[in-house]
Chain A
Amino acid sequence: MVNPIYIFVIALFSAFLLPVIDKLGRKVTLGVFYLSLTAIFAVTLLWFRAFGEGALIENIFTAGSLPPFSINLRMGTIEAFIMLFVNFGALLGAIYLYGKLLENKVYALMLFLTLIMGVNGLIMTRDIFNIFVFLEITSISLYALIGIKQDARSLGAGFKYIIAGGLASAFLLLGIIYVYRITGNLNLDLIISENPLLLSKGGLIALFLVVVAFLIELKPWPANGWALDVYEAAEPGISAMVASLVAAGMVFVFYKFIPLLPHSWHGMLILFGMLTFVFSNLTGLKQKNARRLLGYSSIAQMGLLMAVLLLVRRFNDAMDIRYALSDIAAALFVNHFLAKAGLFWLSGIINKEKARDWSFNKQPVLVLLFAVFIFALVGLPPFPGFWAKWTLITKLAQYNMIGWIVPIIIGSLLEAAYLLRWFGATIKREQTEQVIIPRYKILPPLLAAIVLVIIFPSFAPYMTGMKTMFFFPLLAAAVLWLLDVMPERMRGMVMILILAAFGWYIYPLAKGIVLIFEFMFIAGGIVISLASLNSARPKQGYWEFLVMLIMSLALIPLAKSSMEFFLAWEFMTVSSWLLILRGKNGEKPALTYIMFSLGAALLILTAFALSFAETGELGLVLLSNLNIYAIPVYILLALGFLVKAAAMGVHIWLPGAYSEAEDEVTPIFAGMMSKISLWGFILLFGYMGNKVLGIFELPVLLGWIGVFTAFFGALMAVFQEDIKYLLAYSSMSQLGYMILSVSLLSHLGWTTALYMSVTHLFFKGMLFLAVAGIVSRIGTTKMYEMGGLIKKMPASFISVLIAIIAVSGVPPLSGFGGKWLLYTALIEKGWYLQAGLSFFAGAIAFLYLFRLIHTIFLGQLKARFREVKEASLWYIVPQFIFVGAIMAISMFPNLILKPIMAAVETQFPSHVNWDGYTVITALGYWNGNAVMMITMGVFMVPLIWLLVRVNMVQKVEQFNIVYAAERPDRPETTHFAYNFFAHYQKAIGFLVKEQITNFWNSVSEWFHSLSATFRHIYTGNGQTYALHIIIYIVVLYSLLGVK
């Protein structure tokens, strides 16, 4: 094996050689330069491979003697791993800087090489004074490299950096000499094995000085203003290296010192790491400068990494520590290393200071890269950060360190907030000028992204034992993406075929209740997707996200382990978010949506982690065995699902998300995705049943939340002017009924929930598709701008008519079955007041439903819509498939009720009897078939009476009405539509003043103000920053209790 000392040899030798051969021309010099970097990378690669094949740790002793008389280097698995990335990053960074290196003096090349050498040295050396030397080599090279960009800002930043670095070095040097004084030794291994520092007087002070110096180098909050300035002002290529490989070196040095730290320090240091994670992300919220934003994120990630390195020490099993290091720390490291470097490189290519000036949505390469890096940083699957967070939170729960989960969740959400907001804004901003991409600049981020994607399996330990099908959504999306060359409709058909094949594949796996959900997702997905075929215009990303969404929805009920569940859940979250983002005004709603969804996901994750902690396994079945954590798990899961269901209080994401998503997607959200929360509750109640907290039975509480959701959702729908908002609130209301009925924990209750959920898919699918069709023709979603469209779009009218009759629960259509089941189930259970309130909510539904059909189809037709045509068949056909389904189950409720009841019977004993078409419960009975027949009968009689005399009927023109002796002016003034329920608003509108929206807005506002306050500590003054460092050291010193 190549002696790692050659890394230094190569670096130094070529560093000195370069100025000489530079006479031959810069191209030659650069050739040698890249060759040496490649050689260094090759050396580490060889070592890494060797360790992969089981090589032993290699110690290299210099000067031919053993420590303490020599400086020794170590090459072990971890060293090789870190160096592999460092040297890979170095090579990419050098390629990125090609342009700069070509035009600058040759010294830049030399500095680059010494910098790399320094970092390699920092990683390998085991001698503490040597650490100081390598630190200085690294720092000095870096200071000089920062200064290469000759402008006042980067020079100022560099100077501040030198002051901070100088201070850190000073403390390090003092610490080292005292460590030597006390131990008589400079070799880290010998000091660790004897560790006299902990015993002797002053030993801890010496150790403190050494450690705090490296903490400063890790840029802890709040003593890190100088680092932010450098990130912002330096050449992005250099910032990338500071954020990735220099940070890697510093972290690793810190890691080396961990065994020396007394246990009493761990807690405080973890706290400081977490504080950095949370507050850096908090401060990042207000940041507008792209690179400084990345700086905040980098600092936060380093804080997290530091905390994690210490946290894993608390695991009492040596194997666990090993695995935690590779599964959490290494994954976080790689994730951040590649993503952050990539983003800095990207920022150099875009070359726009303000984050809000970024726009490149016409250049797919940039979009893709940006997406990969941002998603990786946020910790979305399949990137290593996702698995790392999963493992971290599970392990923390397992080792009873639940408290630490809180800052991780808060910090992650804050980070997601600004990163995803940035992503959304950038993707949505119309690109006005072409971004020029030099080939050498795009190569490094491209490679980083590719590595991020292909290495994820090595950081996904829980994938073993997971079914491959849980990666199908990703695969299907990839396939469709590769088929981008196809005509758009063809791709859509391929997507539908994929769905059908997937349905066929999973059909044998689904039974009972699961089968009902699979039916909704796959069959519903296929039918609704038909509408998207209406346009042949290319839709970037549309089919990919759609197939991903539908498949992940279908996978969630099939999940057997919490890992599978969570992975599919996250796929669903991401794909639905991207679909909302595609909408024309999707930017803000998408952000609200993703924030709530991620919050919910983290709650669910924590619940699963607690379950894992207690049972030691990931199986969802084990939820039923929970004992200690039963209540917290129950509450966390319920909260997570409530957010997803948009229950009262956490519903504010829903109207925007549904309304601003593209019209063809909304039915999938409302009809299908919303049901996943119902599945969540079925899972929760199915495994955990009823739980009592204090005097409250939790399902009763959930039931009340459900009924209030139903009530307020309906009431808010009444006052909407925008049709999609109206339907969105209506969906919220319907979900409320489902939560209510599933919380009943009875046979009838669950039957109700499932019955409603299937019928809701049908009629919400119809309504949203009808709306999509109408909007596609008239181009507005404001109801009062419509009117009289019945004559232009009769098919859409019929579909909407059937749908609103079904939604409202008026017999003879299937909706009545839902109402009947609901009230029967509620009264059977003794939930009387809930029944009363849901009845009221049901009555309110009439208001918005009538308004929906009236203001669109009835009343006066506007002049500008005189020429409007019926919606395209692509919209009408799926609607009429649903119409057919509704008519069928209205006529023969058995078709759907019997399988549902049979499925539910596996959970609860049934008290329902059947007599032909009559369902008989303890309370009442219902014969859907007879009702249908009778209704048709009584309908026919007067109809015939009118038809007999139809000859005398004369059709009249639009304005031919009795109008109180006045002539109607214009359709606009005659169509009673705007503020339709003004008196209702006057009577009880005060109930739905936007208090909850205001609450969440003020939460957001509060975080932003906090962010604005905290970031004022970064005054920009180098001396203030130095003072921060001194104060930080003093505070940490006193908090650690060093004496």
Chain B
Amino acid sequence: MTIITILGFLLIIIGLWGMLTRKHLFRIILGFSIIDTGIHLVIVSLGYIKGRTAPIFDADLSPIDAINRIVDPIPSALVLTAIVIGLAVTALMLVYVIQMHRHKGSLEISDYEELKW
């Protein structure tokens, strides 16, 4: 387990903590983003092979010797997808918060409790 992985998990925990303890909607979203970032770090770190380069074909990297020179390309591909999805979710959450504020004028999560039991 590399230092990056550990860092990633640390971020996840921080994000989780933020999500569970902060009352402000934006901070909850921030917590969520931090979790996402942490996960992305973990993904990338798991695919990393020491001393190798990014799996991008260009002038320096031809497909022929790629197999020996690049890190595992799949996590990299996955992380790209995950980032995009995370972005979309974050954006959607922000839109929600704007709309919620418009309807109720509050950004406290505890003000949205009328649905219960």
The answer on A and B forming one complex is: yes
Chain B 75-112, CB-CB to A under 8 Å as 1, else 0, gives: 10010011001001100110111011001100001101
Rounded to whole Å, the gap between the CB of B53 and the closest CB of chain A is 20
Contact check, A147 vs B99: say whether CB atoms are below 8 A apart.
Answer: yes
Residues of A within 8 A of B117 (CB): 286-287, 1015-1016, 1018, 1020
Give residues of chain A (224-251) contacting chain B, Cβ–Cβ below 8 Å: 225, 228-229, 232-233
Rounded to whole Å, the gap between the CB of B75 and the closest CB of chain A is 7
Residues of B within 8 A of A169 (CB): 85, 89
Stretch at the interface among A156-164, A647-655, A855-863: A156-164
Residues of A within 8 A of B95 (CB): 147
**Roughly how many angstroms separate A166 CA and B46 CA in the complex, as a whole number?**
22
Contact check, B115 vs A162: say whether CB atoms are below 8 A apart.
Answer: no
Contact check, A233 vs B115: say whether CB atoms are below 8 A apart.
Answer: yes
Residues of A within 8 A of B43 (CB): 173, 177
Contact of A140 (CB < 8 Å), options: B32, B42, B88, B110: B88
Contact check, B112 vs A162: say whether CB atoms are below 8 A apart.
Answer: no
Contact check, B19 vs A1026: say whether CB atoms are below 8 A apart.
Answer: yes
Residues of B within 8 A of A906 (CB): none
Residues of A within 8 A of B113 (CB): 156, 1019-1021
Tally A residues with Cβ within 8 Å of B: 51
B8 nearest in chain A by CB position: A174
Rounded to whole Å, the gap between the CB of B62 and the closest CB of chain A is 20
Contact check, B19 vs A144: say whether CB atoms are below 8 A apart.
Answer: no
Question: Counting CB contacts under 8 A, is A152 at the interface?
Answer: yes
Question: Counting CB contacts under 8 A, is A143 at the interface?
Answer: yes
Chain B 30-46, CB-CB to A under 8 Å as 1, else 0, gives: 00100110010011001
Residues of A within 8 A of B81 (CB): 129, 133
Contact check, A1019 vs B116: say whether CB atoms are below 8 A apart.
Answer: yes
Question: Counting CB contacts under 8 A, is A536 at the interface?
Answer: no
Contact check, A1030 vs B97: say whether CB atoms are below 8 A apart.
Answer: no
Contact check, A150 vs B103: say whether CB atoms are below 8 A apart.
Answer: yes
Contact check, B109 vs A1021: say whether CB atoms are below 8 A apart.
Answer: yes
Question: Counting CB contacts under 8 A, is B71 at the interface?
Answer: no
Contact check, A170 vs B97: say whether CB atoms are below 8 A apart.
Answer: no
**Roughly how many angstroms separate A228 CA and B92 CA in the complex, as a whole number?**
21
Contact check, A186 vs B114: say whether CB atoms are below 8 A apart.
Answer: no
Known: A153-B115, A170-B39, A174-B42. A162 touches B20 (CB 8 A): no
Q: Which of B43, B81, B117 has the most CB of A within 10 A?
A: B117
Contact check, B115 vs A163: say whether CB atoms are below 8 A apart.
Answer: no
Question: Counting CB contacts under 8 A, is A181 at the interface?
Answer: yes
Known: A143-B92, A156-B112. A1023 touches B20 (CB 8 A): yes
Residues of A within 8 A of B19 (CB): 163, 167, 1023, 1026
Question: Counting CB contacts under 8 A, is A849 at the interface?
Answer: no
Rounded to whole Å, the gap between the CB of B28 and the closest CB of chain A is 7
Residues of A within 8 A of B32 (CB): 163, 166
Residues of A within 8 A of B92 (CB): 140, 143-144, 162
**Roughly how many angstroms separate A49 CA and B91 CA in the complex, as a whole number?**
42
Rounded to whole Å, the gap between the CB of B11 and the closest CB of chain A is 11
Residues of A within 8 A of B36 (CB): 170
Residues of A within 8 A of B104 (CB): 152
Contact check, B74 vs A162: say whether CB atoms are below 8 A apart.
Answer: no
Contact check, A1022 vs B89: say whether CB atoms are below 8 A apart.
Answer: no
Rounded to whole Å, the gap between the CB of B49 and the closest CB of chain A is 12
Residues of A within 8 A of B12 (CB): 170, 174
**Roughly how many angstroms separate A928 CA and B117 CA in the complex, as a whole number?**
67
Question: Counting CB contacts under 8 A, is A915 at the interface?
Answer: no
Contact check, A156 vs B114: say whether CB atoms are below 8 A apart.
Answer: yes
Rounded to whole Å, the gap between the CB of B36 and the closest CB of chain A is 7
The prevalent SS among residues of B at the interface is helix
**Roughly how many angstroms separate A152 CA and B97 CA in the complex, as a whole number?**
10
Give residues of chain A (96-147) contacting chain B, Cβ–Cβ below 8 Å: 129, 132-133, 136, 139-140, 143-144, 147
Contact check, A177 vs B42: say whether CB atoms are below 8 A apart.
Answer: yes
Contact check, A156 vs B89: say whether CB atoms are below 8 A apart.
Answer: no
A152 nearest in chain B by CB position: B103
Contact check, A133 vs B74: say whether CB atoms are below 8 A apart.
Answer: no
Known: A133-B85, A1020-B116. A155 touches B96 (CB 8 A): yes
Known: A129-B78, A1023-B109. A162 touches B103 (CB 8 A): no
Rounded to whole Å, the gap between the CB of B71 and the closest CB of chain A is 13
Question: Counting CB contacts under 8 A, is A1027 at the interface?
Answer: yes
B93 nearest in chain A by CB position: A162
Residues of A within 8 A of B28 (CB): 163, 1022-1023
Contact check, A1018 vs B89: say whether CB atoms are below 8 A apart.
Answer: no
Residues of B within 8 A of A181 (CB): 46
**Roughly how many angstroms separate A170 CA and B16 CA in the complex, as a whole number?**
10
Q: Which of A166, A232, A1030 has the most CB of B within 10 A?
A: A166
Chain A 549-584, CB-CB to B under 8 Å as 1, else 0, gives: 000000000000000000000000000000000000
Contact check, B100 vs A180: say whether CB atoms are below 8 A apart.
Answer: no
**Roughly how many angstroms separate A180 CA and B76 CA in the complex, as a whole number?**
12
Contact of B89 (CB < 8 Å), options: A140, A1027, A1030: A140
Give residues of chain A (284-338) contacting chain B, Cβ–Cβ below 8 Å: 286-287
A154 nearest in chain B by CB position: B115
**Roughly how many angstroms separate A169 CA and B117 CA in the complex, as a whole number?**
25
Contact check, A153 vs B114: say whether CB atoms are below 8 A apart.
Answer: yes
A172 nearest in chain B by CB position: B39
Question: Counting CB contacts under 8 A, is A151 at the interface?
Answer: yes
Known: A159-B96, A170-B35, A1023-B109. A186 touches B116 (CB 8 A): no
Rounded to whole Å, the gap between the CB of A325 and the closest CB of chain B is 32
Known: A1022-B109, A1026-B20. A159 touches B97 (CB 8 A): yes
Rounded to whole Å, the gap between the CB of B55 and the closest CB of chain A is 14
Contact of B93 (CB < 8 Å), options: A151, A159, A1015: A159
Residues of A within 8 A of B116 (CB): 225, 229, 1018-1020
Known: A166-B89, A170-B36. A1021 touches B96 (CB 8 A): no
Residues of A within 8 A of B23 (CB): 1023
Residues of A within 8 A of B109 (CB): 1021-1023
**Roughly how many angstroms separate A150 CA and B115 CA in the complex, as a whole number?**
16
Residues of B within 8 A of A1021 (CB): 109-110, 113
Contact of B99 (CB < 8 Å), options: A155, A166, A186, A229: A155
Known: A158-B96, A1018-B116. A136 touches B103 (CB 8 A): no
Q: Which of B81, B82, B100 has the most CB of A within 10 A?
A: B82
Residue contacts A-B, CB under 8 angstroms, 24 given:
A143-B89, A143-B96, A152-B100, A155-B99, A155-B112, A156-B100, A156-B113, A159-B100, A162-B92, A166-B35, A166-B89, A176-B78, A177-B39, A177-B43, A181-B46, A233-B115, A287-B117, A1015-B117, A1016-B117, A1021-B109, A1022-B28, A1022-B109, A1023-B20, A1023-B109
Given A133-B85, A152-B112, A159-B97, output 17 extra A-B contacts at Cβ < 8 Å.
A133-B81, A136-B89, A144-B92, A150-B99, A150-B103, A151-B103, A152-B100, A152-B114, A155-B99, A159-B100, A162-B96, A163-B28, A166-B89, A181-B46, A186-B74, A1021-B109, A1023-B21
Q: Which 7 A-B pairs have the closest CB atoms?
A: A1020-B116, A1020-B113, A156-B112, A152-B103, A229-B115, A136-B85, A1015-B117
Binding site for A on B (CB under 8 A): 12, 16, 19-21, 23, 25, 28, 32, 35-36, 39, 42-43, 46, 74-75, 78, 81-82, 85, 88-89, 92-93, 95-97, 99-100, 103-104, 109-110, 112-117
Binding site for B on A (CB under 8 A): 129, 132-133, 136, 139-140, 143-144, 147, 150-153, 155-160, 162-163, 166-167, 169-170, 173-174, 176-178, 180-181, 186, 225, 228-229, 232-233, 286-287, 1015-1016, 1018-1023, 1026-1027, 1030
